Amino acid sequence: MVDRGTLDQCLLGISFPAGKEEIVECVTGNSCPQHVTTQLQSLRVGAFQSEEELLCQLGDSSYCS
């Protein structure tokens, strides 16, 4: 699971909705920890409407509706 603070830093400069590839490019460009990039690359969902939806898919059930 990725914590919100880390993800906030990794997603600097991105706007939602965003596709998985766009998100992976953003976190790579922001020099995120490798475990974050790896988790994002493994997601099956192709697009996210919000950071909260992304956090839910990354395993933080408190952001799942």
In this predicted structure, what is the pLDDT of residue 65?
82
pLDDT of 13-45, one tens digit each?
A: 999 999 999 999 999 999 999 999 999 999 998
User: In sequence order, what E strands does the chain have?
Assistant: 18-19, 47-48
Find the mean pLDDT for residues 7-11: 96
Task: For residue 11, give its domain range.
Answer: 4-63
Q: What is the pLDDT of residue 48?
A: 97
Number of structural domains found in the chain: 1
- Total residues found in the chain within this entry: 65
